[in-house]
Every structure is written in structure tokens, then in C-alpha cells.
Amino acid sequence: MRLTYEEERDLVRDVLLREGAPGAPAEVQARWLAEGDLRGHPSHGLQRLPVIVERIRRGLSDPAAEPQLTWRSDAAAVVDGRRGLGPWVATRAVEGVVERARTTGVALAAIHNSNHLGLLAPYVEQIAAAGQLGVMLTTSEALVHPWDGAQAMVGTNPIAVGVPAQPEPFVLDMATGAISMGKILDHRNRDLQLASGWAIDERGEATTDPHAARAISPFGGAKGYALALAFELIVAAATGSALGTDVTGTLDVETVCNKGDLIIAIDCAALGFPDAAAATSAYLGALRATPARPETDGVSIPGDGARVRRARNLEQGVEISDAVWAQVAALRERDGARA
Amino acid sequence: MRLTYEEERDLVRDVLLREGAPGAPAEVQARWLAEGDLRGHPSHGLQRLPVIVERIRRGLSDPAAEPQLTWRSDAAAVVDGRRGLGPWVATRAVEGVVERARTTGVALAAIHNSNHLGLLAPYVEQIAAAGQLGVMLTTSEALVHPWDGAQAMVGTNPIAVGVPAQPEPFVLDMATGAISMGKILDHRNRDLQLASGWAIDERGEATTDPHAARAISPFGGAKGYALALAFELIVAAATGSALGTDVTGTLDVETVCNKGDLIIAIDCAALGFPDAAAATSAYLGALRATPARPETDGVSIPGDGARVRRARNLEQGVEISDAVWAQVAALRERDGARA
């Protein structure tokens, strides 16, 4: 099944409306899933919808919830997501920090009691579009083993960074695991070997067998583990959320989500550097012009690949797997029966 | 030559006093170099002193400068280091953000016109000791090649993170290069092969020959490069400092230093989570108790190694190489001749 961006977005929105989501949260959540598929990350696309809907039906997620943003101090807000849809909660928090950072220079939102955020890139793109630096951290279930440890104890803890530039902002959105659990499951389904360094088995030995994989390895060895851990600690300490194996509710349909999200915006103009974007753009150009290493395609900038895939998929639509389509069709039928 | 911590600190302080540094900046710079050796990072220890002194003598660094901290907005300060000693400038900035974050929740200092900071760990330790989360970024000369690029274009851009915990804070202090230039030079001097993945030669090919190495590889492949780049952009945009190959003055004795430093402090108590340190401590304990992977020593926490080396070297003193000692002795004699 091939869907245009608009078809996918409208499909998701309509399902969520029938589940009790008001128009704005439904629209934002729908755009986020459609962006996931557009940018070539199906693990953050339509395939998430069945879990999102099931969590709503079980009361683990409240699609009508309006997040409560409280400025505990001049530049730092605590956001109670009230079990709301992750992208809606985070979008409201982004609006809050961007506005506040104009006068405070830096502002922070510490989110708890929310749900899975989906892609992080679009949030920091919003911040960069406002002329600000955006940094976002979020935690997840413990899927990654600490360096030299034999069990999953750390989240895949992604970081996103947005920096204003022309013609496009710099956008980084990456997990600190060597690979996503979605990719390991995909290899399992297709009986493909994992790459070396992606995972360990139940005894803690490195494995390339997707069926034996029990924990994802951190990217970049001991340093990557150190960063993943630092991000986990920062988020939990700033948001009061759970740590390590206590984190639940971003993937399952059994538990309230207890991870945290942290959003920081820095206003370059407030700091006295309104022209930072020009310097950033020139440097990114110089990087792209760096001579390539032999047998490579040369230097790219984080975010380039996603933009290329997005442009292509906006034209061609995205291919939805039969398995995902069957699940989504069942949701729509069940919705129809209810309506 | 073996020196106790006090001997090394006093030696450095006395040299700097004779070069015109007031007592407090001389003391702080001296403590920072001595801490570098104590923690097993001689590249950030006494061997830096000759360059620091030569930069002072050439007017590239002003040891008597008092940094100028200006709150451009409620939570964000711009710090003009006025060519002062890096540790003194940054220590003053840390004091400023820690005090400010108590009321604003998050506060930031963007430093320009300073000098090499030395170890980052002690700054974030100061922030953590105040019950706050500390994050610090700084840029450096371009020594790292972008992923799939054949030339050095990105700094070794370290990150430091401090998180309050008992009995010791969590302290991360790591560069985003696979290895330091100091380590490559050390291998060159001792004619030892580099490890695979550390460096490329002038054609961009991976090399283990320390004499052929022309650029350091980023740690963690494309993801490590992406982070190094993100840190470079954040620092430059927030501080108005130089980017990429334009960065000079942390290693040489020819140019004013034009890199930037960014310090962020987040006050957990102001956010409503005064007990974050207890949760952090419990989680770090669980991580240490994770079963070890076969043939490893098991899980350690970033900062553990530095603490062990520090405790041992506080007792035993640190060994200073003959080459470094000869340079330092020459500085003292020259000082003596001047006095």
C-alpha cells in the first residue's frame, strides 16, 4: 500500500479523532507519524499507531489532555503531560521555551507524564526556525547494555540538536544505541544477520544472530555508553522521571509512561549574536566541500539524508508494509463499527 | 622527577606569579594543571605550562585579566575572557551561572576571548557540588576529520557533564575525537603503532602509522562526527567564536585564542526535584552491579578511573617526564634570572 503524506496524515488524524482526541492534538500526532515515514524512519511512522490507539483505549494515554506548563523559575518550566499525546505535549512545551528564551536567553522545559515523542527532529526544527539553538533529550526503556556489562540497563536515549542556518537548519536526531530495536526486529523478521557491534546475546557475548540478540550495544563503545548514561541522568534529574530498567510505557500497552523529556532553547540574538546563522551556513558549506575519503561518497551533514528522503517521498508517497496496513485497516474497521 | 600535588601546584603558581598573574588566577591555573597530572591526563598537566608562559610573554594571554561577565538577558551571560587564563575565566563563569540558576532554574555562560580550559571535569564538579546539573562544551583547533572526509575540519570538541550523586557526583569529561592529538604525538615519539580507527593519513586512508597520521577520526563513526559537529555549531553560535579551521590559539604561541566555551547549569531543586541525587546514586549502584561481559572487568561509571588515579597519585605523587621537567626547569631559571 502506498500513501501520500496527506493521506497518511488524514488517516491517522481521523482514527485519533474517533478515539477522542481534539482536532489539534490529533493533527499534530498525525503529522509526526507521517513525518516519520516521509523521512525514512518507519519505526517512528504509521506502525506506531496501533500501540498509540491501544494505549488510549486502555486509559494509559489521554488524547484529550492539555499539558500543564508551570514556570517553576524564570527560565525553567515543569510540564505535566497529563498522559497526553507525546507530540502535542512537546509541541506546546517547545512553544513555551521559544517564547521565554527571547527574554531569558536560555529556557528549559522538563516534561514528565507524557507519551512517546516520535521523531525529535521536527521539534528542534521549530526551535531553529525561531532563530534559536534547540537541544532535546528524551529517555526510553532500557535496551542498551552499559559498556562491559551483559544486560540492558540504559535507554536508547536520543539527542536532537537544531541550529539555524541557510537554506536549511542543521538538524541532528540520533539515538545513542548502535542501532534501533526496530532494526533488530526487522532483521529478525527477515532472518538477516546483524552487523558486528550492534548487539549482545544473553551471556553478554557479541552476536550477529538477530534471534539471539538481547541488548543493543551503545554506539561508539565506552564513550557512547558514557554519553547515553549522561543523557539518562540529566533527563531523569531534571524531570523527576524514572531511570534505567524502571522506565516503561513508550513501547508497551500495559503501563503509564514514566520517561522524561528535556527541551532547551538558546536565543542567539538575545546573547548578542544575531548573525550566527550566516557563520554556521558558511562552515557547513566548507564541510561539504571537504575532499572525500577514498571509496566514500564524501562528507554529508546530519539531516541531509532525511531531507532527501522526505523530498522524494513527498512526491512518490511512502510504501506501507502489508503487516502494518493490515493492523491499521483493522483499527479503521473497529472505529467504523464503533461509530 | 616525581612531584606531589602541592609541589606541582606551587611550582606552577610561582612561575605564573612571576609572569604577572595575581594570586587567585595563578592559584586556579596551577590547581588545574596539577589536577590534570593527578588524574592521569599529562596532556592537560604540567606539560602545558611552557605554552601558557610563552603566550603570556608574547601578549597573547593576559594573566592579570579579570573576565567581564555581562547578563545579556535574565538567564544568559556573555563572558569576555579578556585573554585571561582559561581556568580563571571559566571558574568565574561557573560561579556566575550557579548563583543565577538558583533563581532562573537554568543559566548559561557563553565565553569568548579566553584561553585553554584544561580539564573540564573540575568545572562540572563545582556545579554538581552546588546541587545542580552542569553541562560544558568547548571547541578546539580542527583536528578531526568529518565522517567520509579526508581533512581535519572539526575540533576535538569535548563535552563534560556533572550530575549530583552520593558519595561522588557523576562526572563525564570526554572529547569527541577517537583519541587525543597528545596521544598520537606520544605514539610518534615512542614509535608505537596507533590503534585501528584512530586516524587517517594525508590521502584520507585509515592508518596505524603515527608518523603518517594527519587527522584524528571521530569517535563512534558517523554518529560521533555528528555530535562533534553539533557541539561545534552550538558553541560558536552561542559565543560568536570561530568555527572549524579558523579556530586557533589553544595549542600555539602565535595567535590570540578565538574558540568559545559554553557552560550550562540546571538547578534540580528550583525545578522541584531536590531528591534527584538519591535516585541518581541508586541507579549508578545498579549499573555497577550489572553482570560483566565475558573477559571484561565489568561496568564502570565515567569518572571512576580518574578518581582512582587521583587518589593513588595524591599518595604517590606524579611522575613528570624528563622532557617536560627540562622545559619547566628552564622556565624557572629564566624566571630566576629575571627576578
Q: How far apart are CA A231 and CA A294, in angstroms?
A: 35
* Residue B182: band (very low, low, confident or very high) from pLDDT cuts 50, 70, 90: confident
**Residues of chain B with C-beta less than 8 angstroms from the C-beta of A135:** 234
**Residues of chain B with C-beta less than 8 angstroms from the C-beta of A103:** 73-74
Nearest Cα to B250, choosing from B197, B194, B180, B337? B180
**Residues of chain A with C-beta less than 8 angstroms from the C-beta of B220:** 219-221, 223-224
Residue B335, domain member (yes or no): yes
Q: Summarize the confidence of residues B89-112 as an average pLDDT.
A: 98
Conformation bin of residue A35: beta by default, left when phi > 0, alpha when psi is -120 to 50:
alpha
**CB atoms near residue B24 (< 10 Å):** 12
Q: Each residue of B47-72: pLDDT tens digit? A: 999 999 999 999 999 999 999 999 99
Distance from CA of A187 to the nearest CA of B (A): 21
**Residues of chain A with C-beta less than 8 angstroms from the C-beta of B223:** 174, 176, 219-220, 224
On whether any CB of chain B is under 8 Å from the CB of A135, the answer is yes
Residue A339, domain member (yes or no): yes
Q: Smallest Cβ distance to A133: which of B203, B237, B280?
A: B237
- Phi, psi of A136, deg, nearest 5: -135, 135
Cβ-contact B47, A247 below 8 angstroms: no
Q: Summarize the confidence of residues A100-105 as an average pLDDT.
A: 97
Coil, strand or helix at B48: helix
Q: Smallest Cβ distance to B104: which of A73, A283, A294?
A: A73
Q: Tell me if B290 and A151 make a contact (CB, 8 A cut-off).
A: yes
Domain span holding position A18: 1-64+305-339
**CB atoms near residue B319 (< 10 Å):** 12
Average pLDDT, chain A: 96
Q: How far apart are CA A109 and CA A79, in angstroms?
A: 7
Q: Tell me if B291 and A107 make a contact (CB, 8 A cut-off).
A: no
Residue B20, domain member (yes or no): yes
Q: Identify the CATH number of the domain in which residue B54 sits.
A: 1.10.1530.10
- Interface A–B counts its CB contacts (< 8 A) at 300
On whether any CB of chain A is under 8 Å from the CB of B295, the answer is no
> Residues near A262 by Cβ (< 8 Å), separated by ≥ 6?
A108, A109, A110, A111, A136, A137, A138, A234, A235, A238, A239
Average pLDDT, chain B: 96
Conformation bin of residue B18: beta by default, left when phi > 0, alpha when psi is -120 to 50:
alpha
pLDDT at B52: 97
Residue B17, domain member (yes or no): yes
CA A109 vs CA A95, A137, A235: distances in Å:
10, 11, 11
Per-residue exposure over B275-293, b if at least 16 CB sit within 10 Å of its own CB, e if not: ebbebbbebbebbeebeeb
**Residues of chain B with C-beta less than 8 angstroms from the C-beta of A302:** 226, 229-230
Q: How far apart are CA B36 and CA B51, in angstroms?
A: 15
- Give the mutation candidate from B139, B243, B293 for the A interface (greatest A CB count, under 10 A): B293
Nearest Cα to A255, choosing from A268, A242, A264, A267? A242
On whether any CB of chain A is under 8 Å from the CB of B197, the answer is no
CA angle B299, B305, B310 (to 5 degrees): 155
Residue B227, domain member (yes or no): no
Q: What percent of chain A has pLDDT over 90?
A: 92
Residue A95, domain member (yes or no): no
The one-character DSSP state at B192 is: P
The residue of chain B with its CA nearest to that of A243 is B283
**pLDDT value at B95 more than 50:** yes
Q: Each residue of A230-250: pLDDT tens digit? A: 999 999 999 999 999 999 999
Residue B254, domain member (yes or no): no
Residue A154, domain member (yes or no): no
For CA atoms A80, A82, A87, A88, the dihedral sign is: negative
pLDDT at B336: 54
Strands (DSSP E) contained in chain B are 2-3, 68-73, 76-80, 106-112, 132-138, 142-144, 154-155, 159-163, 170-174, 199-200, 206-207, 215-216, 261-267, 318-319
- Give the mutation candidate from A293, A296, A301, A304 for the B interface (greatest B CB count, under 10 A): A293
Structural domains in chain B (count): 1
Q: How far apart are CA A61 and CA A216, in angstroms?
A: 27
Per-residue exposure over A291-318, b if at least 16 CB sit within 10 Å of its own CB, e if not: eebeeeeebbbbbeebeebbeebeeebb
